[in-house]
Amino acid sequence: MSDFVKAISEIDFKGMEEADEKLSKKGITMTEALNHFFKMINEYGYIPYYDEGASFNQETIDAIREGEDIISGKVKAKIYDTAEEAIADLMKD
Number of C-alpha atoms within 13 angstroms, CB side, residue 15?
Answer: 3
Over residues 4-23, mean pLDDT: 86
- State yes or no: pLDDT of 51 exceeds 80: no
- The CA distance from 16 to 42, in Å, is 22
Q: Is the pLDDT higher at 14 or at 57?
A: 14
- DSSP, collapsed to helix, strand or coil, labels residue 25 as helix
- The CA distance from 64 to 40, in Å, is 14
- pLDDT category of residue 6 using cuts at 50, 70 and 90: confident
Contact 61, 25 (CB under 8 A): no
- The CA distance from 19 to 23, in Å, is 6
Global pTM reads 0.47
- pLDDT category of residue 61 using cuts at 50, 70 and 90: confident
- pLDDT category of residue 23 using cuts at 50, 70 and 90: very high
